[in-house]
Structure 1
Amino acid sequence: MHRFLKWFFALVILMIIVGGGWFWLQHQSDPKNTQQRKPIVLKTVRVVGVGDSLTQGIGYDNDHQGYLPILKNQLRQTYYVKPKTVNFGIGGERSDQIDRRVQTNKKLRRSLQRANVIALTAGGNDLLQSLEKNIMVNSDTQMAKQMAPLKIKYQQKLTQLIADVHEVNPHAQIYLFGIYNPVYVYFTNATMISSAVDQWNQVNRQVAKSQPQTHFVNVNGTLSHGQYQSANAQAKLKAENQQNNQEFVDPGRVEKLLKTQNNKEKNAYLSTEDHFHPNKKGYNVMASKLSSEIQNNVNWRKR
């Protein structure tokens, strides 16, 4: 009996030791156990912006910095990271011209290779040139027919661009911005322009979805509509634009608007210099939209 009790107590003690050790290991490995963790800087995050004038920063007090400095501050305030940004934006470039730089520019390629995040603006100049080729079209059916092959060609170019960026850096997260309609608040019912912008955004979204580690950043609704976001504001805007209610706008009127330089701009998010590119508030929108999308796809430690 004495020997039985001795073995019994030994077995109980062993179970306690084993069970306690197992519990300790589980507790230590549990990701929810953060009571003893202290805030630390996880790493340096390198963000490379590449693309057209929306990356370069045209329209924002002519400093050509755009959304990247704003994004840098937002990331620093949100995460325990040290953000570093590099700007490789050149105004006026189409997607194929951006791609050529990705393939041949050694400085750009070195930066891409080291990047954690690659932000890309492309498509606006492709669309502008496509619309310029079809300025005399005056029906939705004819416009759709004319734009269809151009849209397919653009999709092929954009897909190649993303693939070439991935080839340089297969590990980075790529964030592809959509485009917007800079003259929407003046020509609210010009469906020809709005429809074309929607189609190009559809391409950007589809290409991003089809590529690994690539995400679409939608800025169309905010930058196109400006401060006219609610249904009531939209109705008021349409009422103000009664004289511009036609579906197809004389391209000369659009060109005249874009060449007008004054201190008046109806869209609160766009520059008074060219009525086309974002102002500081508009670039804040781009940075915030990108920051939100980054938040959805990374696991960096938040502050």
Structure 2
Amino acid sequence: MKKWIVYLLSVVMLAGCETQDAVHNIKEETKKILVTQMFKPKDVQYVALGDSLTQGVGDEAENEGYVGRLKTDMETWQGVRSVTIHNEAKKGRRSDQLIYQLQSGKLDDTLRKANIITLTIGGNDLMKIVREHITELKKKDFDKGRPKFQQRYETIMQMIRERNPIAPIILIGVYNPLTIFTKEESEMNTIMDEWNSDIRGFADDDPYAVFVNVEDLFDTNANLVYHTDFFHPNARGYDQMTARIIETLEEENLKKLSQGQFDFQEDSIDE
């Protein structure tokens, strides 16, 4: 009798395990279906605008700076089938020159089709002020140039939005390369904070834009992030820039920013 009871209990337990496995498999398949329905994979058009940082100058690994690295990460996102880069950046470009580029109309179609946009601009505006007042550089020189930069940045954002009202725009801030020569606090740090605050303000005013602060990543060269020109990032610097961009997108809710088009991969969907 006991043998039969043990046998029956074993059958019930095995059946229970099989049922649990079946339920688990159904849940996993359901999750896959839900993800597919929520994020229909698309061929993403990634437009990169700005200066040498977006061009990837200094990247000895030849991975196209933060742009190429971000592309690699994007290819793992939900909602992404493939990523095509349109890198329209150029070394030395200032905000007034970017406006001229946008006014030419050559990027109109590219911007209209963009699914995501990144922008670095402002570093060369700052360096222009430095060169013009190199013999007697004062903070007031930057204060005088700041309103003009604000106006140009606003124009850039307006021109992008006229061509594409909804694509997420990642606005990357400026940093002070002079910290590589001194650890002392200087007026340049204050200037960087002010100009970054302006860029952040434009991101705050746009529901589909986000500001990425990279200033602290290049505060001195303790982490060996500078190229041998002591101005541009090296491969390690671009690695850290990319990580900061991804970190910021996670904090700012990529799914919301992209209006449900994209999201980071998750091991599971909350039940």
Question: What's the TM-score, normalizing by structure 1?
Answer: 0.68
1:302 lines up with 2:264 in the alignment: yes
Distance change in 2, residues 1:87/1:73 (3 Å)? same
Q: Is the 8 A contact 1:47 1:115 kept in 2?
A: yes
Of 215, 225, 231 in structure 2, the residue corresponding to residue 269 of structure 1 is: 225
Map of 1:118-133 to 2, 5 A cutoff? 118-133=117-132
Residue 210 (structure 2) pairs with residue 215 (structure 1): yes
What is the match of residue 44 of structure 2? 45
Per-residue Cα deviation, 1:123-173 (whole angstroms, up to 9, x for no partner): 0000111122333447xxxx3433222111111111111111111111111
Higher Cα Rg, which structure:
1
Sort the Cα spacing of 1:144 and 1:88 in 2 relative to 1 into closer, same or farther, 3 A.
same
Moved over 4 A (4+): none
Q: Deviations over 1:9-39 (max 9, x none)?
A: xxxxxxxxxxxxxxxxxxxxxxxx9871315
Could you tell me how far apart the structure 1 residues matched to 2:118 and 2:207 are? 14
Distance 1:225 1:176 in 2: 23
Identity %: 32
* Selected match of 1:179 from 171, 174, 179: 174
TM-align CA RMSD? 2.3
Q: How does 1:218-297 map to 2 (within 5 A)?
A: 218-227=213-222, 268-272=224-228, 274-295=229-250, 296-297=252-253
Q: Of 197, 213, 220, which residue of structure 1 is paired with 2:192? A: 197
How big is the shift at 1:198? 1.9
CA deviation after TM superposition for structure 1 residue 55, in Å: 0.7
| CA distance, structure 2, for counterparts of residue 190 and residue 134 of structure 1 | 21
Q: Cα 1:129–1:302, aligned 2, differ >3 Å: closer, same or farther?
A: closer
Matched, 1:161 2:161: no
Letter in 1 for 2:166: H
CA spacing shift, 1:294–1:111, aligned 2, 3 Å: farther
Per-residue CA deviation, residues 17-68 of structure 1 (Å, 9 max, x unaligned), is xxxxxxxxxxxxxxxx987131545323321101000111111128482111
Match of 2:147 in 1: 152
Change (3 A) 1:135 1:83: same
Helix, strand or coil for the counterpart of 2:119? Answer: strand
Structure 1 unaligned segments of length 5 or more: list them.
Answer: 1-32, 228-266
Kindly indicate whether residue 84 of structure 2 is the aligned counterpart of residue 84 of structure 1: yes
Q: Could you report, residue by residue, the CA deviation over 1:172-193 in whole angstroms, capped at 9, with x for unpaired residues?
A: 1111100111120322226032
> Scaled by the length of structure 2, what TM-score is found?
0.75
Aligned to 1:114: 113
In 2, the alpha carbon distance for the partners of 1:144 and 1:219 equals: 22
Q: Which amino acid aligns with 1:302?
A: F
